[in-house]
Amino acid sequence: MMPHPITMEAEAQNTNTPVILLVDDEEDILDLLQYNLRRAGFETRRARDGVEALESAETKPPDLVVLDVMMPRMDGIEACRRLRQSARLRHVPIMMLTARSEEETHVRGLDVGADIYLTKPISIPVLLSQAKALLRGAHRYETPPDLLRIHDLEIDRDRYLVYRTRDGEREALRFPRKEFELLRFLAARPGKVFSRQVLLDQVWGRDVYVVDRTVDVHVRKIREKLGDGYIETVKGVGYRFKG
């Protein structure tokens, strides 16, 4: 019997949709996960072992990996280890699935870098809840450099100053702390759209209670200082820094 080829569904044209890589050697599990994740608004790709998973992830990094442990060729533990060793992929959240319930297996998965462990049979509501939480998590995003240069701006975290150069003239702009951190977070990831909730989690922290409107107010204040040519509103979704 010929081995299955790698199955990689076409990615959504809307780049705002999170892409989840599903890795399992059981076709019925892949079908179940794919059906429910797509119903919840996610895009999915599929792989049937750790080798296919790494090939898929290196070709196009996903936003989240859902990874079975017991698989042929390369199991989930080794695949997780290699994902965490990759400079390009080490920040991608990993959810591990297994039919095993032994504590030792759970510990091994967490030790090599899994973010969370779920045991089969899978509770779909729990899976969806954990997936959303991982996608919101701070570990998704690499820390930008202390001096970030983009377009005509230099964003200097050491001094909490933004320098803008126009017509050969360099001016220093001062921002309150949260405005500065919001600008820096967006500018470090040009072109990527972030919802208000993600921005609240990343800039204000998940333990601080603030409302979505807080992001809108801070974006407006940034635009008052820089103009409208940097941060773009994506209607119904959130904001992005123009690439």
Whether residue 125 sits in one domain with residue 81: yes
Which two three-digit tokens encode residue 94?
């990993």
- Is there a domain that residue 102 lies in? yes
Residue by residue, pLDDT tens for the chain (243 residues) are 344 443 434 333 344 688 999 999 999 999 999 999 999 989 999 999 999 999 999 988 899 999 998 899 999 899 998 998 887 787 788 998 887 666 666 677 777 788 888 888 889 999 998 888 888 764 445 556 678 888 889 999 888 899 999 888 899 999 998 999 999 999 988 888 888 888 888 888 765 666 778 899 999 999 999 999 999 998 888 899 987
Whether residue 81 sits in one domain with residue 59: yes
Which two three-digit tokens encode residue 88?
């390009």
Which residues form the domain of 228?
A: 147-241
Whether residue 128 sits in one domain with residue 49: yes
Cα 14 to Cα 195: distance, rounded to the nearest angstrom? 14
Q: How many other β-carbons are positioned within 10 Å of the β-carbon of residue 25?
A: 18
Coil, helix or strand at residue 196: helix
Provide the 8-state DSSP code for 178. Answer: H
CATH number at residue 136: 3.40.50.2300
Whether residue 134 sits in one domain with residue 33: yes
In DSSP terms, 150 is beta-bridged to 153
- Is there a domain that residue 10 lies in? no
Q: How many domains are contained in the chain?
A: 2
- Is there a domain that residue 37 lies in? yes
CATH number at residue 212: 1.10.10.10
